[in-house]
Amino acid sequence: MKKMKDLPELDRPREKIARKGAAALKDEELLEAILGRGTKNRDVRTIAREICSRIENQKTPLMYDELASLEGVGPSKASQILACFELGRRYFGVSDSRAKVTKPEDILPLVPDLPQKRQEHFICITLNGAGEVLGNRVITVGLLNHSLVHPREVFADAITDRAASIICVHNHPSGSLEPSSQDIAITHQLKEAGALVGIPLIDHIIVSRAGHTSLRERGLL
């Protein structure tokens, strides 16, 4: 296989994109265009071919650590590749039916039975950087307090999900939508913990048969 420098200029990927459009390039050529150049020991075409081979031969998406560890890639190029993949998925990819959260009302279909529960349920919803739902888990059942809703339990799965942020939801069987002092204290505790681990709490929502309340909209987060 010829090295990039040995190819005629018109046959190089970036020049081909300018002349023919990105759709005319093979997968390897698209990766070559993203990478730009190789290293002293590995030509960009060799690196692109290895990445394509790994993508084709494994069922799960390539992860940052795996890409960054490849000879000739490293942290910067791994970030570039994954950023391109994610941007393409968000704007042009086939929908994977993930729910997307942009406002408090978007949470309600994710917890349809919660307002009718006779006990308080505290739920953590994990989101990716596009605001799409990664996970939806019950953390505790029963009367909420600091000891029961511990940040360790809330953020354990969020870290596993590689979440970009979380939203917490709990119900008030009494029907009241007013945040209690415990609700506010828990919210502040989780906000501080989220800041430490780099997974911010973007809202805490109370639901009941009477409707819902967003602590962010109330200025309590």
Q: What is the CATH number of the domain that holds 120?
A: 3.40.140.10
pLDDT score of 7: 79
Same domain, 59 and 149: no
pLDDT of 170 reads 95
Domain boundary among 92, 115, 130: 92
In 3D space, the residue among 192, 180, 187, 134 whose CA is nearest the CA of residue 158 turns out to be 134
Stretch 1-28: mean pLDDT, rounded? 79
Per-residue pLDDT at 8: 80
Among residues 50, 30, 1, the alpha carbon closest in space to that of 12 is found at 30
Number of domains forming the structure of the chain:
2
Q: Are residues 61 and 28 in the same domain?
A: yes
Of 46, 62, 92, the residue at which a domain comes to its end is 92
Which residue is listed with tokens 């081979």?
53
Q: Are residues 52 and 133 in the same domain?
A: no
Q: How far apart are CA 158 and CA 134, in angstroms?
A: 9
Residues 45-68: what's their mean pLDDT? 84
Same domain as 50, residue 122 = no
Question: Do 153 and 127 fall into the same domain?
Answer: yes
pLDDT at 111: 93
112 and 199 fall within a common domain: yes
Average pLDDT over residues 155-170: 92
Q: In what order do the strands lie in the sheet with 201-208?
A: 133-141, 121-127, 165-171, 201-208, 211-214
Most confident region among 54-68, 117-131, 143-157, 205-219 by mean pLDDT: 205-219
Q: Is 99 inside a domain boundary?
A: no
If asked whether residues 112 and 48 sit together in one domain, one would say no
CA distance 116 to 109: 14
Strands 133-141 vs 211-214: parallel, antiparallel or unpaired: unpaired
Token representation of residue 101: 């959260």
- Domain region containing 118: 104-214
pLDDT the model gives residue 207: 96
CA-nearest of 137, 211, 214, 142 to 179 is: 214
> pLDDT at residue 147 above 60?
no
Q: Same domain, yes or no, for 157 and 80?
A: no
For residues 79 and 115, membership in a common domain is answered with no
Q: Is the pLDDT of residue 212 over 90?
A: yes
The residue with tokens 């029963």 is: 142
The string over 86-116, giving b where at least 16 C-beta atoms fall within 10 Å of a residue's C-beta and e elsewhere, is eeeeeeeeeeeeeeebeebeebeeebeebbe
Q: What is the pLDDT of residue 146?
A: 46
Claim to verify: residue 34 and residue 58 sit in the same structural domain = yes
